[in-house]
Structures are given as C-alpha cells and as structure tokens.
Amino acid sequence: MTEKEYDKALEAHKSSSPPSAPAWDPREWGWLRWVIILLGVGIFATTIVVPLKVIRMTKYPSYSRLGYSLTDAYEGEGFFELFNYGNGTEETHGFTNYVTKEGAKWSNLTYATSDQAIVRVLSKDITGTAGRPTVKILSKQRYTHGLFIFDIRHVPYGCGTWPAIWLSDTDQGVWPEHGEIDVIEAVNQGDRGAQFTLHTTDGCNMSVKRKQTGKTLSYDCLNSTNYNMGCAVRGAPNSYGEKLNSNGGGVYAVEWRTAGIRLWFFPRDQIPANIEFGKPDPSEWGIATADFPSTRCDINSHFKNHRIIINISLCGDWAGAPPVYTKEYSCPMKCAEYVGSTPEAFEDAYWAINSIKVYTAPNS
C-alpha cells in the first residue's frame, strides 16, 4: 500500500467512526466529576433546603394584642332563650336521645337561675330503645372569630358519657368544610383531662412551632385521619372530671383569629383578673394550654360561621369503643347496656354553667 493509499484509508476510517459523546452525557463522566457533582448537591441541600425547613419550623404568627369588647352574654334566667334545641339520635352512633325544648323542660333536663344554667342527662328509668334522654343545644347566634369565655362550675362525667362544648357549623351538608373547634371534650370519667381539638378538611397541619402547655396527641387536623381524631391536645388532669368539680370548676377561654386559635384552661383559683373584671386580654395570660397557629393552616378558609354547641352524648364511637370504655376506663358491661340499665349512674352527668361571654375585636 502506498503512502497515499494509507492516508486515504485512514481518513475513511475516521469519517465512519461514531462521534464522541457530548460533555453533558453522564456516560462520559469520570469519577472526579461525579464526586464534584455529589458534593454540589450536598452543599445545595445544606445551604438551601435545610435552612428553608428550619425557617418553616421556627416560623410563628404574631398574636399581637387586640382590643376586645363584649358582644354577647349567655347568662341568667334567659340563658336558654339564646339557643335552639337539637333532637333525635346522635350522629356518632351513641345510645343517645336528644329531647326537644319542651321535653327538656318537662323532664327538668335544662333550667336556669340567676346564677347558673343546667344541662343534664336523665337519671331516671327509661323505656324504649332510642337511648337515654339528654340534651344538645345550639346558639342562635353565629360567629367567625372572637374571644369566648366559658365559666363552668360543674362538668358531666361517668362511664358512658361523652360531653362537649364546641364551636361548629352543623348545617346540613356543611360539616366539616367550615371546621370545628372542640373547646371542652372528654369521655367516661374524664380523669385524663379535657381534650382541645380542631377538625377540618385537608390542608391544616400542626407540625409547626407551637407555644402550649398541653400534650399534643395528633398533628393532622383533617377529620378523616386518626379515626376522626383531628389535631388534638390534652390538658392537665385537673382540667376535667371530678378533680375539676371538686375545685369549683374553672374557666375555658378560646381566642379565634386570623393568626391562629388558642385555648386556655384556668382553675377556679387561677382565673386572670382581667377576665373577672370583664376586660379579658389574652396577651396577659401567658402560654396557652393548646395552640393551633396559622403557619400551615389558613384559619380563615377552614373556620367560619360557627354556633356554640353544648351537649352530653352517651356511648358512641369514642366513649363506647371497647378499647376506651372497657380497657382504658374499666367501665362495666357493654356501654349501651350500662347506660340503659343504671339511671343512678348519671346523677353527676350535668353541666353547670355560670356564663358564656363572647368578645370581638376589629381586624382580628
């Protein structure tokens, strides 16, 4: 082969060889380039992603002082004139028969004096299978935002009971789109303390910075999670049951505003002076019992148009569930059987309410 023929053959071979891969093709990267890239990813995560997560976990709304003024007072002999009565069975599948206003008056399950309003369970023998007669009342007035002061002298307790004072919109087909705020809730003896809970649709989570003295039980407020538990906080043992009643009750306060929802419990001998003087100011109350900030929950879109609701349910999905009724509280028989056959057990199953006062503030 001549030199000329060799050069021509070499040139033909080069033109038929596949082109080299571009620099961005990972198949052409060596170990050094891989090391540099992995170090870059780590630096990005450390300098950008982690600080963003830290910022989210340390972010906290401003609960600046608001000037509250009295809007509504539920007290005295006219207490029940400000409420409507629910009637029929309980949606939580309890052995519960809510009576009408006339039925409650006839059986003395609701009555008011100048000092207190009483809401109770019938503690006499019952006939039929609908459930033990009890009461559910709903305020005629509705609220979006406010400072709610519940002065409670006595709470219902005992095996089979599921009492609650709560705020919600219970109109047909609305719940839980407008949210629910459980101000005071407990089951059976209630000696674990009161439970403070939010129930919402999706998009409200409390895995954020919070300032509270209560014990967090769950973080996701979506009602369908955790067996419909919502996001719950439990107060101290003296915040409910026999311990509370023996201390003369106490005050439960709820501040509901754009920044968040906070709840406090004050034993009778620790009620702030500004509450007793009718000038409540949460900025002077210290750390809340339960804190639900707006950090990962748009309060205004999840909570609106609420009534004040007071009821005493019996048995049902929580109080009567065997792991709770039998195992946790060691209550006798099956729940419905016990509630139906032992009327004397419900002599302490009543609310004694000194007053409920609602305060509002502009730009809350």
pLDDT tens readout for residues 74-99: 999 999 999 999 988 777 789 999 99
Rounded (5°) CA angle 82-85-89: 160
Q: How far apart are the first and last CA of the chain?
A: 96
Q: What is the pLDDT of residues 186-235, one digit of tens each?
A: 999 999 999 999 999 999 999 999 999 999 999 999 998 888 899 999 99
Q: Where are the domains of the chain?
A: 21-58, 69-360
pLDDT digits (tens, 9 = 90+) for 130-183: 899 999 999 999 999 999 999 999 999 999 999 999 999 999 888 999 999 999
Which CATH code is given to the segment(s) 69-360? 2.60.120.200
Instruction: Give the model confidence (pLDDT) of 14-53 as tens digits.
Output: 555 555 555 556 666 677 776 777 787 777 666 665 554 5
Active-site positions read 180, 185
Element (H, E) at 121: none
pTM of the predicted model, to two decimals? 0.85
Which pair of structure tokens corresponds to residue 287? 């750390």
Mean pLDDT of the region 279-298: 98
User: From CA 213, how far away is CA 231, in angstroms rounded?
Assistant: 15
Nearest to 188 by CA among 233, 232, 234, 157: 157
pLDDT in tens, 333-348: 999 999 999 999 999 9
Query: Cα angle at 315 between 313 and 318, to 5 degrees?
Result: 95
314 backbone dihedrals φ, ψ, rounded to 5°: -130, 135
Rounded-to-integer distance, Cα 352 and Cα 350, Å: 6
